[in-house]
Amino acid sequence: MTLFEKIIARKIPADIVYEDDRTIAFRDVNPQAPTHVLVVPKQVIPRLDTAGEGDVAVLGHCMLVAGKVATQLGLGSYRVVINNGEDAGQTVFHLHLHILGGRKLGWPPG
């Protein structure tokens, strides 16, 4: 099981802010902004570059959920990030979108 599957299965506790049949969203344990939430598809896709045509619907759904959750949490401006691969900072190989907001965000990111 991936770490995030354990959260989905309630084997590891998390501060869950949204859940539906295809996704779960919970607060990051090591927040990089005042609001830092992860949107995770329940179906395991290890990385963005391992996604295929059959994943289009769930990927699109994750994007819609990210927008919905950000609004639900009162964010107007925010960033949605996918880290793909170790050099990009990916540490959990179960695809997820980071929602970062609640402070001014620099660009380009580090």
36 in catalytic set: no
Q: Rounded to the nearest 10 degrees, how much is the dihedral formed by the CA atoms of 105, 106, 108, 110?
A: -90
Q: Fill in the amino acid letter for 81.
A: V
Which of 36, 94, 96, 98 is flagged as catalytic?
96
Which lies closer to ligand 5GP via its Cβ, residue 30 or residue 107?
A: 30
- Contact mark string toward ligand 5GP, 2..41, x via CB under 6 A: -x--------x-x-----------x-xxx-------x---
User: How many whole angstroms separate alpha carbon 80 and alpha carbon 31?
Assistant: 14
Strands 97-101 and 35-41: antiparallel
Interface with ligand 5GP (CB under 6 A), residue from 22, 48, 55, 83: 83
| Shortest distance in whole angstroms from residue 50 CB to ligand 5GP | 14
For the chain, the 3-state helix, strand and coil shares in percent, each to the nearest 5, are: 30, 25, 50
Which lies closer to ligand 5GP via its Cβ, residue 28 or residue 55?
A: 28
